[in-house]
Amino acid sequence: MIHQMAGLGRLEEAESLVRIALHRFPLVGKLWLDYAQVCQGLHKSEERLEALRRAFMLAPGWPMAAQALTEALAEQGEHEEAVTIWKLAVPRNPLEGAVHGMLANCLWEAGRAEEALQRVQLALQHDPDYDWAWNVLQVWSERLDQPEIPIQFARELTRLRSGNPEVWLRLARLLTHPQHHAEALEALDRALVLDPYRVEAYDLKAERLAEMGRYEEALAAAQPPLLAGNLPLVLQGRVAWIEARRGNYAAAIPPMQALVAIEPTYVWGWYQLAEWYSATGQNEHYLEAAGELVRLQPGHPMHLAMRGEARLKTGDRDGGKEDLREATLLLEEAGLPYRVLGETGGPSLTVLTPDGVLEWSVEELLTAWKAPLREVLDG
């Protein structure tokens, strides 16, 4: 009830109620957390912090109490104390990957980067499915100029947890460089031996084979006999993508059209169709597909940019320019370059780039955007 009242903004009533409850039950940690929430709403920062300390003192093995306290400490820049809190919580939750992950994050915020890197790897040893930990392992390794660490660690994890298909999949995802094609395929095969119904492994294998130009093998990987009776949507989409990859748009477009008709929210399918329509000069269809992308993900700058390009190609210059302007504003928020300043009066746009103000076609602008956009949006 206290939590609900605070959420509804009835803070004074909630404060009165929680004080009564604490007077009767001072050793209940959850009540101190509720009191801290009320104090936060009333902007009583000192009382909030004291309540959180009491909650943690009463239940040092309760991750929720530790997290609430360390978040409050971090807001005040007390990163070392936050580290201490999680170090007290870890021995009470030694096998919880998320608890090790929280400690790793506090270590990083405290400037103890090497310790953070070691701790996040320990978190992954306990929980190989911990996506946040994998992401920060890659980000932190890059920032420390040690980009090889995630792959090295994933290889070691396949030795330690060789019976877990997820660790083999994770290794395959990390082995993106062409020089690792063979190792990535081997990792995917190991994952499929452990879990023959793992759709993602078939999808990644088909994608990798297509990138290597081994299209027939890619098609076979995307259509495993084990799943032939009910091929998942993602693999049906991959089959179409493989055909487009080798330039066979006539074999790629109709199946993907059928898939988005069955599943109208299939964003990846609409994106591929938009790319293929653009590549084959089917501008009206390109506009339709880009419009669906904007409808499904209205705040996505790439989708707005694609619709802007499609509008320009179909004669809607004002609408196209508006989409491109909105896309550039979103890109600025993401910290990316290439801002559209205006039009030249012809088919070109005036674009602010890291190399100065240039006149570019819409196609040149989209090409410049795509790689860094995908990196930011995926990361």
What pLDDT is stored for residue 354 in this prediction?
Answer: 59
Residue 124 lies in a domain: no
Mark residue 335 as left, alpha or beta (left: phi above 0; alpha: psi -120 to 50; beta: remaining).
left
Regarding whether 271 and 153 lie in a shared domain, the answer is: no
φ, ψ at 248 (rounded to 5°): -95, 70
176 and 235: one domain?
Answer: no
Quick one: pLDDT at residue 236?
A: 98
Q: Does any domain span residue 95?
A: no
Both 235 and 201 in one domain: the answer is no
Helix (H) or strand (E) holding 235: helix 233-245
Q: What per-residue confidence (pLDDT) applies to 357?
A: 62
Residues 282 and 374 in one domain: yes
User: In this structure, are 195 and 259 located in the same domain?
Assistant: no
Q: What is the residue range of 264's domain?
A: 231-378
Residue 147 has phi, psi (to 5 degrees) of: -65, -15
Model's pTM, two decimal places? 0.78
Q: What angle do CA 37, 81, 68 make, to 5 degrees?
A: 20
Each residue's pLDDT, cut to its tens digit, for the chain (379 residues) gives 555 555 556 666 667 777 777 778 888 888 887 878 877 887 788 888 888 989 888 998 889 999 999 999 999 889 999 999 999 999 999 999 999 999 999 999 999 999 999 999 999 999 999 999 999 999 999 999 999 999 999 999 999 999 999 999 999 999 999 999 999 999 999 999 999 999 999 999 999 999 999 999 999 999 999 998 899 999 999 999 999 999 999 999 999 999 999 999 999 999 999 999 999 999 999 999 999 999 999 988 889 989 998 998 999 989 988 888 888 777 767 665 555 555 544 455 565 555 566 565 666 666 666 655 544 444 4
- Whether residue 268 lies inside any domain: the answer is yes
DSSP letter assigned to residue 75: H
Q: Which of 155, 182, 212 is a domain's end point? A: 212
Closest by CA to 128, choosing from 88, 161, 86, is 161
pLDDT given for residue 305 in this prediction: 87
Rg (CA), the chain: 26
List the CATH number of the domain containing 340: 1.25.40.10
Q: How far is CA 163 from CA 100, 132, 166, 194, 203, in A?
A: 23, 22, 9, 7, 21
pLDDT recorded at residue 201: 98
Q: List Cβ neighbours of 85 (8 Å cut-off, separation of 6 or more).
A: 56, 66, 69, 70, 73, 106
Residues 241 and 346 in one domain: yes
Query: Residue 80: inside a domain, yes or no?
Result: no
Within a domain: 45: no
Confirm if 53 and 65 have CB atoms less than 8 A apart.
Answer: no
- 243: in domain: yes
Q: At how many degrees (to 10) do helices 215-222 and 199-211 cross?
A: 170
Question: What integer pLDDT is reported at residue 301 of this predicted model?
Answer: 84
Give me the pLDDT at residue 378, please: 45
Residue 93: per-residue pLDDT: 94
Indicate if 154 and 285 belong to the same structural domain.
Answer: no
Residue 12 φ/ψ region, left for φ over 0, alpha for ψ in the -120 to 50 degree band, beta for the rest: alpha
Calculate the alpha carbon distances from 52 to 29, 48, 70 in Å: 9, 6, 9
Determine the pLDDT at residue 172.
Answer: 97
Residues 180 and 279 in one domain: no
| Within-domain flag for 21 | no
Same domain, 363 and 257: yes
The whole-number pLDDT of residue 76 equals 87
Q: In terms of domains, do 243 and 153 share one?
A: no
Task: Say if residue 237 is in the same domain as residue 311.
Answer: yes
Is 16 inside any structural domain?
A: no
Give the pLDDT of residue 344: 45
Give the total number of structural domains in the chain.
2
- Helices assigned H by DSSP within 8-162: 11-24, 29-41, 45-58, 63-75, 79-89, 97-109, 113-126, 131-143, 149-160
**Do 283 and 156 fall into the same domain?**
no
Angle at alpha carbon of residue 158, lines to 157 and 159, rounded to 5°: 85
DSSP string over 209-223: HHHTT-HHHHHHHHS
